Amino acid sequence: MNKPQAAFLASLLLTFSSLVALLHFINNRLIAAGYDVSRLILIGLPESNLTMADVQSTLSNLRTVDIPGFGTYDLLELASSPAVLITTAIVVATAFYVKVLHTGRAKPLNPDAWQEYPLEKKIVVSHNTAIYRFSLPHQQDVLGLPVGQHISVSAEINGKDIIRSYTPVSNDDDRGHFDLLIKSYEKGNVSRHFAQLKLGDKIRVKGPKGNFQYSPGLADHISMIAGGTGITPMIQIIRAALRNPFDKTTVTLIYANVNEEDILLKDDLEELLDVHEAKFKIFYVLNNPPAGWKGGVGFVTKEHIQEHLPNPATTNSKLLICGPPPMVGAMKKNLEELKYPAPRTVSKLVDQ
């Protein structure tokens, strides 16, 4: 929960508590003045045969209610307890936030038409990698990309339109913009185009795209193999699975890179690992590990896969792969030899 969300919940809770206190104050003043509050709403309605003794008898029955397996409880005292009132306020505030405030405006993505978005900010991650932040039409807009899907980006290079697929590392909690993590390659077309963008320059985007979409309960376990910038679609799914307290899905990620400094979004991954250690595991693999390295060395092997990722053929699990084409090809061969089902490729990194 970010600061604006926490402030909103706190203010709503304070307002709710104030209204409850005001209601009790007005009720006490009316009683002191000789008014029976319970009869005020009956003005203009026919008299009922219900007597105060009947009401008191019903209320008395609620003070000793036997709940099988839990014991005997005073429901009147329980319902008026501060804990119940606070919990009710939090539930109402959360529902209001999700249904009203968190829906955002109309989602700007269009799967059939190119939309243009200006570069708002460039955040340098390493010598050849950066996060590019693009503005949405309104500061309350959300991109509206389903979890597990990606967008198509079009760039005119040497007179030709080149299209590549990217998955934002931002999500719909981020309003007014979306972020793309892009590593520039010497022979890359679109990735070099990004590196040359200036603030205010626009890119053309179309989406959502993709055949895979994550939803809670999709599987008991999600296995992932990612290489380099292939982490971008993976972290989108990881965040979605972990931030939902009702989603019991566990996730294991094998993440391969050349050097330790090449591990993208490592701080984000380590933070998720610290907070959700019971649901999330990471196994790093490096081609050139530093001294004392405790992860995998070289390429991702069959042994790495067999040790860390369950076989979807014998478990309720899914296996996702995203990385450079040579790596994806090698992983598919490893999985075939292990008799794992053919994996699902989340996004193809042909030229990033």
Q: Exactly one of 117, 132, 166, 214 is catalytic; which is it?
A: 166
Per-residue tens of pLDDT for the chain, all 352 residues: 555 556 666 777 777 777 777 777 777 776 776 666 555 555 555 555 656 666 566 656 656 666 666 666 665 565 666 665 676 667 666 665 555 555 555 678 899 999 999 999 999 988 889 999 999 999 989 998 999 999 999 988 888 888 999 999 998 888 999 999 998 887 778 888 898 999 999 999 999 998 889 999 899 999 999 999 999 999 999 999 999 999 999 999 999 999 999 999 999 999 999 999 999 999 999 999 999 999 999 999 999 999 999 999 999 999 999 999 999 999 999 999 999 998 866 654 443 3
151 phi/psi in degrees, rounded to 5: -115, 155
Is-contact 182 132, C-beta < 8 A? yes
Distance CA 189, CA 186 (A): 9
Question: From the centroid of its chain, how far is CA 69?
Answer: 36
Q: Annotated catalytic, 232?
A: no
88 catalytic? Reply is no
Residue 103 bears catalytic tag:
no
**Identified catalytic residue from 129, 252, 284, 322:** 322
The pTM assigned to this predicted structure is: 0.69
pLDDT of residue 156: 85
How many whole angstroms from its chain centre is CA 162?
30
Q: pLDDT value at position 15?
A: 78
Alpha-carbon gap, residue 6 to 11, rounded angstroms: 9
Looking at residue 171, the DSSP 8-state letter turns out to be -
Whether 276 is catalytic is: no
Neighbours of 62 (CB within 10 A): 14
Amino acid at 249: T
Which amino acid appears at position 271 of this protein?
Answer: E
pLDDT of amino acid 350: 41
167, 249, 252, 345: which one is catalytic?
A: 167
pLDDT for the residue 256: 97
**Residues counted in the chain:** 352
> What is the rounded CA–CA span in Å between residue 341 and residue 339?
6
Catalytic residue among 117, 129, 150, 255: 150
> What phi and psi, each to the nearest 5 degrees, are found at residue 169?
-95, -5
Amino acid at 279: K
Tokens of 295: 């992860």
Cβ–Cβ under 8 Å, residues 116 and 123? no
| d(C-alpha 185, C-alpha 129), whole Å | 9
